Amino acid sequence: MVSEIEITPCGPIFGSIRPPGSKSLTNRALIIAALAQGRSLLTGALASEDTEVMIESLRAIGVAIDVDDISHTLRVDGNGGQFQGENTEMFIANSGTSMRFLTALATLGQGTFRLDGIERMRERPIGDLIKALQQLGADIQTESDNGCPPVLVRAQGLPGGKATIAGNISSQYLSGLLMAAPYARSEVQLEVDGELVSQPYVRMTTQIMRDFGVTVEENDCRRFVIAGQQQYQARQYAIEPDASAASYFWGAAAVSGGKVCVEGLTKDALQGDVGFVEALRQMGCEVEYGKDSITVTGGQLKGIDIDMGEISDTVQTLAAVALFAEGPTRVTGVAHNRHKETDRIGDLACELRKLGATVEELEDGMVITPGTLQPARIETYNDHRMAMSLALVGLRQPGVVITNPACTSKTYPLFFEDLAAICQGA
Ligand SMILES: O=C(O)C1=C[C@@H](OP(=O)(O)O)[C@@H](O)[C@H](O)C1
Ligand SMILES: C=C(OP(=O)(O)O)C(=O)O
């Protein structure tokens, strides 16, 4: 792909789109189908770097996965939770879900597993998950003492028992523990210690576990009891389009003053990020929930004060929209965004300032005061969401250049093609 893209401004965008499959659901369904006994068919799956590294890692432990790129279907022949490692290496690039879910899964096998990723992955914390797995009897550690990957697992199956898990840095630790727990030798009791960020992802985890036939007792998203020696039931499973990806198209309607319908998502979607449209409604957009779609119509935009702790992957999208609003927008509740693909508070503030905004950084968010927009060369920090969100600014402001646009391949390889296509009707 080209080394940079200049976004062409366009008029109001009217169109509809079905984004590719959800990253979060694809990677959960892959973990669960891999542990099930028998064949599962996952339809509507995402094909991107984050799912690719998950698939390759599962193949490394003997799970046969056939990818049909045309129908977006994955055929997974699960190993029933029986697998061996012989110094098995899993290279996970910068996929947080893969790193956290596969670390928990690896403890169920027999033998040695090592999980590693790119440089940034070696700065993304995993220590709290390691501690919880140790409480459940796993022999597991990080290679260095900074609490980040690489992770080494000397697995002999997971004994089970009680563990507390911190939830203030990432909910993915809890999701990983939950999905592995039914394969422990005895009951697993999990208790969240302190704040739990990104809660909707945990609800997504328990729902998909139940959909694949295991029981999970749950008390207010704080305490969980999972009987040991359960088995996921292989099945056909339909994956929703990605709601975080959808945010860019809803955002495009907002900044361009058009109307965009995202197909395949509803208010009842498993992904909490559909809640992003309610933030747009607060800012002045119109939102219509259809039977199988959600449509956003742009309006007179005003700044808002919002806690985005439950929908943190859409902070950058909201920030892009905020540049076109009247008055400041204050985002809070997202301290954990500093540990994602990049520091999504500090680095986002820096790029927003280049575009002409005044940004005050908070410990857990930022206050964005729009100014006179100006052309800018946007640094993407190898963060797909920096590229996709700030591209929206270029739909109105000439001279917005996105560097390293190929970084969208983490979750959305064809993002710029899809954005151009929907703009063509504008
Ligand atoms: O469980 C998941 O699928 C995810 C949880 C969130 O991470 P945190 O729990 O680290 O906020 C989110 O940012 C990520 O893109 C996907
Ligand atoms: C934070 C993200 O991904 P992950 O943690 O799965 O790498 C994301 O997709 O925005």
pLDDT in tens, 75-91: 999 999 999 999 999 99
Q: Is 340 in the pocket of ligand 2 (CB under 6 A)?
A: yes
Domain termination residue (choose one: 212, 238, 264): 238
Strands 293-297, 259-263: pairing kind: antiparallel
Average pLDDT over residues 187-194: 97
Q: Do residues 399 and 376 lie in contact, with contact meaning Cβ atoms separated by under 8 Å?
A: yes
| Structural domain range at position 312 | 4-20+240-423
Predicted TM-score (pTM) of the model is: 0.98
Q: Do residues 142 and 149 lie in contact, with contact meaning Cβ atoms separated by under 8 Å?
A: yes
Q: What angle do CA 410, 203, 212 make, to 5 degrees?
A: 85
Average pLDDT over residues 319-338: 98
Q: Is there a catalytic annotation at residue 305?
A: no
Residue nearest to atom 4 of ligand 2 (CA): 96
Average pLDDT over residues 58-87: 96
Ligand nearest to the CA of 48: 2
**C-alpha separations of 341 from 102, 251, 338, 383 in Å:** 18, 21, 8, 5
Average pLDDT over residues 389-401: 98
* Domain of residue 256, CATH code: 3.65.10.10
- Considering its fold, how many domains does the chain have in total? 2
Residue 372 Cα, ligand 2 centroid: separation in angstroms?
Answer: 31
Average pLDDT over residues 105-123: 98
Summarised one tens digit per residue, pLDDT across range 264-320 is: 999 999 999 999 999 999 999 999 999 999 999 999 999 999 999 999 999 999 999
The encoded tokens of residue 92 equal 């996970």
Question: pLDDT at position 2, please?
Answer: 86
Q: Reply yes or no: is the peptide bond before residue 150 cis, omega within 30 of 0.
A: yes
Question: Which of 22, 23, 25 maximizes ligand 2 atoms within 8 Å of its Cβ, making it the mutation to test the pocket?
Answer: 23
Q: Distance (Å, rounded) from C-alpha 241 to C-alpha 258?
A: 22
Question: pLDDT at position 426, please?
Answer: 54
Summarised one tens digit per residue, pLDDT across range 231-270 is: 999 999 999 999 999 999 999 999 999 999 999 999 999 9
Q: Do residues 260 and 16 lie in contact, with contact meaning Cβ atoms separated by under 8 Å?
A: yes
Q: Is 96 in the pocket of ligand 2 (CB under 6 A)?
A: yes
Give the distance, in angstroms, between the CA of residue 287 and the centroid of all CA atoms in the same chain: 23
Ligand nearest to the CA of 149: 2
Summarised one tens digit per residue, pLDDT across range 27-51 is: 999 999 999 999 999 999 999 999 9
246's enclosing H/E stretch is helix 243-256
Residues 248 and 203 in one domain: no
Residues 200 and 249 in one domain: no
**Which ipTM was obtained for this model?**
0.99
Q: Is 175 in the pocket of ligand 1 (CB under 6 A)?
A: yes
